Structure 1
Amino acid sequence: METSSKKRIVILSAIGILFTSLICLYGFRNVILRNIVDKRTARIEQTHGLRLHYQQLQMKGCNEIVLQGLSAVPEQRDTLLELQSVNVKLNFWKLLKGNIEVRNVRMDGLAINFIKRDTIANYDFLFLKRQQQAEPEPVIESNYAGRIDRILNLIYGFLPENGQLINLDITERKDSNFVAVHIPSFVIENNRFQSAIKIQEDTLSQQQWQATGELNRKVHTLKATLFAPAKKKVSLPYIARRFGAEVTFDTLSYSMTKEKRADNQLFLNGKAKVNGLDVYHKALSPEVIHLDRGQLSYEMNVSNHAFELDSTTTVAFNKLQFHPYLRAEKEKGNWHFTAAVDKSWFPADNLFSSLPKGLFNNLEGMKTSGELAYHFLLDIDFAQPDSLKLESELKEKNFRIIEFGTTPLSKMSGEFIYTAYENGIPVRTFPIGPSWEHFTPLDSISPILRMSMMQSEDGAFFYHHGFLPDALREALIYDLQVKRFARGGSTITMQLVKNVFLNRNKNFARKLEEALIVWLIESQRLTSKERMYEVYLNIAEWGPLIYGIREASAFYFNKRPSQLNTEESIFLASIIPKPKHFRSSFTEDGQLKETMEGYYKLIAGRLAQKGLISEIEADTIRPDIQVTGDARNSLAGEKPESSSPTAEEQ
């Protein structure tokens, strides 16, 4: 009995102590809260050079926090943040476990101002800590799945089921330019939200946006839609000033759901959809790019070391759909990227009628029949660049061009007008055919020159179908090694298409259009190989404003193209990659540099293999030429008087 009584007394004492502690904790909760906040505030102020101040901070009951009169001012900078008041109701039981889960929030008068005057910004403290680190950070295990899971849990934890944000203002200002976002009321009710948004940029007219969506932490789902009322377009601010681009759309929607399948495996899926998208940037296209409908339905797997976009992902724009596969994995500090697309047979016109307007100007309006299939694989291991894999093949079945678009792609087969451009400005216009006095038929050009050019630029021209995958692969490997775009792996067909159809467009989109036009010309035999090579030799640039082999022969050697000897032919082939810098091949006394000898031996050896010269003759070939045309004035430092053939040649 005594033992039982003692136990009862101990239990009652413990309960009493706990109860008393809770009463004390509750009674001093505001003191404890302010003490914790003040310590954190002091640390932030010391680390980032901020002055943080609040007028009132207290807890109401066990789960409601009230904050009033908050401000954040960087030292000797403009005020970054001001907040009139915020009431936050938390999940009490989650709070006991150390987790934050916001049940309800009411915020009034939040103003955030990002201001930069000259080179001084009130937000530059965000980057100072990283710049001041003297010692390298220790290597941390990647664990991408864990990182993203924690970030998303934190975000979902702060997203309330109910709440209202009143008078939210965000301003970005740089000198006299600014973007101001005003949200009069952002309402969240039963996990669903809606809000009107007002945008003012500089002196432009004010925009009205509408945002709706759902925030549901229970099922880890986020959905949002952005549009402008009255069927107007949303125009993204800041983009034009910062990037020189213009982006507008009718509606934009996004959704994401998170599912954690294991400690090291995270699964994300959702959709991104845009309607009526218009994009303009001179680096993309000289015209506005228009996309009626675009949608991405994605399935993403995230592990400790890798991100993987599953091949069940669907990309759709206009009438075309395909399933891309992407994987990015990091091991021992090196990334390994894999990208693949396999599109089985589909109606060919689905491709050409779906091309975004403004991105493929020469193909707009093209009508086709038959079927196409496409295979693409790119595998890059940065630890072993030489192991790079590149595969790209567009196959056709009963394919036929019913109607050309804005440009007749077969125009090279007959005489046509060619315009040469420099930096987007036309510098010469002339016909490629008999009506041009400087035009030279293929059979009137020295066979040695024809072969020298081909061996220098594209030795397999008459055998491939417009592309050399191995050359593209080697060029990409080299570019990765030197970390810049140094080689292109272009074939003669690709160079022709670039100059004849796309000469004015110096942008990223040109490469995509170039590839499609090359495939169409080669696969449909719109122009014979012989005629393409003839056009190439008649439009190639051989010096400043020197176009075509006849002008080149006269400019350098005062000869006709049929009269060129082996050494002269090899020299002309050597300067095609950089025709405006032909002087760099010569010494100050007008002789070819000794560094040209290796190139001469290479081309001479190939000419001997093709049977155009003997091996004995190839052994005697040296970089020894006599410049007798107008180019000799340039070598002497004078401006050439004429770029046309001499009277003797005519």
Structure 2
Amino acid sequence: MDTIKTFFKSIPRRYYMIAAGVGGVLIVLFTIVAIIAINKREPLLKSAIERAKAKALDDYQVQLEINKAYFSGLKEVSFEGISATPIDADTLVNIELLRVSVKLFPLLSGKVKLANMDMENARVSFIKKDSVTSNYDFLFREKEADTAQVAEVEKAEEPIHMAKLANRVIHQVLYKIPENMDLTKFEISYKDDSLFHNIKIPKANIDNGDLESTILVNEDKATWHIDGDLNPGRNRLSFRLYADQGKVELPLLEDKYGMRVNFDMIEAELQDVKWINNDDLQISISGQLSNFLINHWRIASNDVIVPKASTQAELIIGKDFIELDEGSVVQLEEIKAHPYAKLTLLPHKIYDLGVEIPEMDAQKAFDSFPTGLFESLEGIQVSGKMKYRFDLHLDSEMPDSVQLHSAIEENGFKINSYGKTDLSKINSPFTYEPYETDGPVRDIIVGPENPDFTPLNQISPLLRNAVLTAEDPTFFTHEGFVEKSIKASIATNFKEKAFRRGGSTISMQLVKNVFLDREKTLARKVEEMLIVWLIEHNDIVSKERMYEVYLNVIEWGNNVYGISEAARHYFLKDQSQLTIGESIFLASIVPSPKRGLSRFTSYGGLQPYLTGYFRLIGTLMANSGYIPRDPNRSYGFYSVSLRNAVLPSRAPEPDSTMLDTDRSRIDLEREVEEAERLLEQLFGKEIEEQ
């Protein structure tokens, strides 16, 4: 202390006088600037509001109205009577009173950060009329680009830096989260021709980052709570949502989309946003979910229940890519998976997807499957260990060069007892129950008791080999999956921008027919693949028996099941008498059996567009030594004749509009072209006589 006093005494008095003078001048200047700012701030506020109104009208066709706006403090602005109404639509937003204050120091660097916010009597109403027009269409409408702006962007040498853009957007959002907030009487509602749902928030508070709120759903039918810790200055946010009693239900999803969703509690946290180098932005997110239930016909036929799930995600955004880092973790009960994804945008789009499940106890893996997801496997008892790895790489400029790897590796894996479904039942006679949309069709005995059942060695070799060639040429050598076929299907579907054809093997089709119902859900597809792996990998059923059952149960037309019924239905003959042309025709309708009759003309001959398909399948069969070569390369096309009793009616004279029959013909032609394209991808672009 004595040293400090000595130091200040040593400074000449005139320096103190100079410092005092400079300080006084600065205070005077600051006072003058403050007076000018205070006097000018009202006109500036009015100008800013007019610009906001003009922008809302020009960019979104929304009329923004503010009855009164004024400064209610040095750094606080109050707005009264705010409304936002899209042109020719109902009012979207009404706010009686809004007060906001900003932090002063961030303003010096041009950043606007909210310090406090008060809102009273606010209402957001989403309204849709006639199932077509709504007052929120503008949110999804592309803004008309200004010609000058487009030209300026096109002239720009540097593309958008994704990481910098993401950083700006994230912090714009974070800066708008106030440290303190009082929200009173806030309501959000949705209304259309048949539905009305609303959420009311009587009171919500943020006190130095601590969030508390109560939410009333559909006029007090349920009460939710959201609490959390908001610290946007440190890039950290966390919240949890739970109900007063019972589960958090989402009735709007159920009423509008038929999706039932509920859970006990959901927690989420933004842990950090930081630069890991000069170009890459890392976003760390975590979350957990308890007793989650979902039911939707696209996912599964029953309730799917997940008792507990959690995730730790590391998202990396670079200059020209977005990536989910392979260090991310998703945990489902005992299953711990490491997902990976990357979208590279420049110089063109490249997609990378992957997931790794490290080695774990096999029984724990099966026990961790969500209840209701894989019904056939519920209760299965296994031993040993297993792990899984999936990788996909797709270059949008070279989709035919897609790279794919999917493999389950096991160590001492063994099935000790089957669960709900006995996977070995097809080794002996059993009853097959085909399903349609309305339910089961009829019972079919798959065994000698059924006079239509035909053992494999008695089925026409022409038919056996035609179906093998068209559906699964390597069936007797693969283990349930053909990677090359799946890759070809992915490439085809990507180029067509739609799902045109899957990469199903005969093993997969058999499992789908015998063990699963016909519902096309995500769960059923995954369950199908798991059962195929279990059957093939554990040699539960021989290949010969699988193919025998397959040819005796698959559908060949409306209520036509098995090859014996199919031969009689189309050609009024025993299957052993099928010609090469008839066999190729029957192979062609396996993917779409209900359209079998549409492949014929009203005179009983085949439609001309099938000639290419016959040439392709016939050539492949000849190359494999199944049949002699046909010098005309027609392979029985012109000898196929449908029996008279099921001839399609002669088409009426066409008019100026496209007839339903024309649409059906075009669909069938496309199906055949897709099958040809897939086979060409598998066997080469040019399939010639060898």
* TM-score (normalised: structure 1): 0.89
Pair 115,614 (structure 1): closer, same or farther in 2 beyond 3 Å: closer
Q: CA deviation at 1:621?
A: 4.2
Q: Contact 1:310–1:325 at 8 Å: present in 2 too?
A: yes
- Counterpart of 1:3? none
Q: Contact 2:290–2:309 at 8 Å: present in 1 too?
A: yes
Q: Contact 2:185–2:202 at 8 Å: present in 1 too?
A: yes
SS of aligned partner of 2:136:
coil
- Counterpart of 2:15? none
Q: Contact 1:48–1:129 at 8 Å: present in 2 too?
A: no
Q: Contact 2:202–2:215 at 8 Å: present in 1 too?
A: yes
Pair 326,225 (structure 1): closer, same or farther in 2 beyond 3 Å: same
Q: Contact 2:161–2:319 at 8 Å: present in 1 too?
A: yes
RMSD in angstroms over aligned alpha carbons?
2.9
- Counterpart of 1:381? 395
Q: CA deviation at 1:505?
A: 1.8
The one-letter amino acid paired with 1:184 is P
Counterpart selection for 1:300 from 315, 324, 347 = 315
1:417-474 residue CA offsets vs partner (Å, 9 max, x unmatched): 1122233532232111111121111122122322222122211111111100000101
Pair 544,161 (structure 1): closer, same or farther in 2 beyond 3 Å: same
Q: CA deviation at 1:125?
A: 4.1
Q: Contact 1:604–1:618 at 8 Å: present in 2 too?
A: no
> Are 1:193 and 2:207 matched, yes or no?
no
> Are 1:425 and 2:443 matched, yes or no?
no
- Counterpart of 1:172? 190
Q: CA deviation at 1:584?
A: 3.7
The one-letter amino acid paired with 2:323 is E
Counterpart selection for 1:121 from 134, 148, 151 = 134
Q: Contact 1:371–1:398 at 8 Å: present in 2 too?
A: yes
> Are 1:435 and 2:453 matched, yes or no?
no
Pair 294,129 (structure 1): closer, same or farther in 2 beyond 3 Å: closer
- Counterpart of 2:286? 271
- Counterpart of 2:171? 153
Kindly report which structure 2 residues correspond to 1:517-532, keeping only aligned pairs within 5 A, or say none: 517-532=531-546
1:104-157 residue CA offsets vs partner (Å, 9 max, x unmatched): 222222222222232443333445662687899445723221122112212221
1:143-177 residue CA offsets vs partner (Å, 9 max, x unmatched): 22112211221222121222221111112222352
Identity %: 33
> Are 1:255 and 2:255 matched, yes or no?
no
Q: Contact 2:427–2:545 at 8 Å: present in 1 too?
A: yes
SS of aligned partner of 1:480:
helix
> Are 1:576 and 2:553 matched, yes or no?
no
Q: Contact 2:615–2:634 at 8 Å: present in 1 too?
A: no
Q: CA deviation at 1:246?
A: 1.0
1:572-621 residue CA offsets vs partner (Å, 9 max, x unmatched): 33332333323343344323345544444444444445545445799794
- Counterpart of 1:107? 119
- Counterpart of 1:454? 468
Q: Contact 1:146–1:263 at 8 Å: present in 2 too?
A: no
- Counterpart of 1:229? 244
Pair 150,609 (structure 1): closer, same or farther in 2 beyond 3 Å: closer
Counterpart selection for 1:33 from 27, 45, 54 = 45
- Counterpart of 1:485? 499
SS of aligned partner of 2:345:
strand
SS of aligned partner of 1:462:
coil
Pair 544,40 (structure 1): closer, same or farther in 2 beyond 3 Å: closer
CA distance in 1, matches of 2:198, 2:426: 53
CA distance in 2, matches of 1:514, 1:539: 17
Moved more, 391-400 or 84-93: 84-93
Kindly report which structure 2 residues correspond to 1:518-597, keeping only aligned pairs within 5 A, or say none: 518-597=532-611
SS of aligned partner of 2:251:
coil
Q: CA deviation at 1:101?
A: 1.5
- Counterpart of 1:144? 162
CA distance in 2, matches of 1:329, 1:626: 51
The one-letter amino acid paired with 1:220 is N
CA distance in 2, matches of 1:135, 1:416: 73
> Are 1:20 and 2:32 matched, yes or no?
yes
Pair 70,448 (structure 1): closer, same or farther in 2 beyond 3 Å: closer
The one-letter amino acid paired with 1:422 is E
CA distance in 2, matches of 1:135, 1:623: 61
Kindly report which structure 2 residues correspond to 1:352-363, keeping only aligned pairs within 5 A, or say none: 352-363=366-377
- Counterpart of 1:331? 346
The one-letter amino acid paired with 1:335 is K
Q: CA deviation at 1:518?
A: 0.5
CA distance in 1, matches of 2:88, 2:465: 70
Q: Contact 2:614–2:634 at 8 Å: present in 1 too?
A: no
Q: Contact 1:56–1:67 at 8 Å: present in 2 too?
A: yes
Aligned length: 628
- Counterpart of 1:642? none
CA distance in 1, matches of 2:85, 2:580: 76
Pair 20,621 (structure 1): closer, same or farther in 2 beyond 3 Å: closer
Stretches of structure 1 that go unaligned for 5 or more consecutive residues are 1-7, 639-650
Q: CA deviation at 1:34?
A: 2.8
SS of aligned partner of 1:633:
helix
SS of aligned partner of 1:112:
strand
1:218-251 residue CA offsets vs partner (Å, 9 max, x unmatched): 3110101000123x10012321233221110110
The one-letter amino acid paired with 1:388 is V
CA distance in 2, matches of 1:315, 1:512: 18
Counterpart selection for 1:365 from 368, 373, 379 = 379
Pair 43,532 (structure 1): closer, same or farther in 2 beyond 3 Å: closer
Pair 627,90 (structure 1): closer, same or farther in 2 beyond 3 Å: closer
1:74-123 residue CA offsets vs partner (Å, 9 max, x unmatched): 44433322222233232112223322122222222222222223244333
1:170-205 residue CA offsets vs partner (Å, 9 max, x unmatched): 12222352221111111112211111111117xxx7
Moved more, 490-499 or 539-548: 539-548
SS of aligned partner of 2:443:
strand
Pair 191,538 (structure 1): closer, same or farther in 2 beyond 3 Å: same
Pair 596,36 (structure 1): closer, same or farther in 2 beyond 3 Å: closer
CA distance in 1, matches of 2:633, 2:186: 81
Q: Contact 2:611–2:634 at 8 Å: present in 1 too?
A: no
Q: CA deviation at 1:38?
A: 3.3
1:499-529 residue CA offsets vs partner (Å, 9 max, x unmatched): 1112332222211111001001101111111
Pair 278,577 (structure 1): closer, same or farther in 2 beyond 3 Å: same
SS of aligned partner of 2:535:
helix
CA distance in 1, matches of 2:67, 2:640: 88
Q: Contact 1:608–1:618 at 8 Å: present in 2 too?
A: no
Q: Contact 1:556–1:632 at 8 Å: present in 2 too?
A: no
CA distance in 2, matches of 1:45, 1:601: 62
- Counterpart of 1:350? 364
Pair 220,436 (structure 1): closer, same or farther in 2 beyond 3 Å: same
Moved more, 254-263 or 152-161: 254-263
Q: Contact 1:172–1:179 at 8 Å: present in 2 too?
A: yes
CA distance in 2, matches of 1:460, 1:61: 79
SS of aligned partner of 1:238:
helix
Pair 51,604 (structure 1): closer, same or farther in 2 beyond 3 Å: closer
Pair 136,357 (structure 1): closer, same or farther in 2 beyond 3 Å: farther
Counterpart selection for 2:91 from 79, 83, 100 = 79
Q: Contact 2:552–2:561 at 8 Å: present in 1 too?
A: yes
Pair 605,136 (structure 1): closer, same or farther in 2 beyond 3 Å: farther
SS of aligned partner of 1:321:
strand
Q: Contact 1:279–1:290 at 8 Å: present in 2 too?
A: yes
The one-letter amino acid paired with 1:493 is S
SS of aligned partner of 2:171:
helix
SS of aligned partner of 2:234:
coil
Q: Contact 1:439–1:538 at 8 Å: present in 2 too?
A: yes
Pair 449,248 (structure 1): closer, same or farther in 2 beyond 3 Å: same
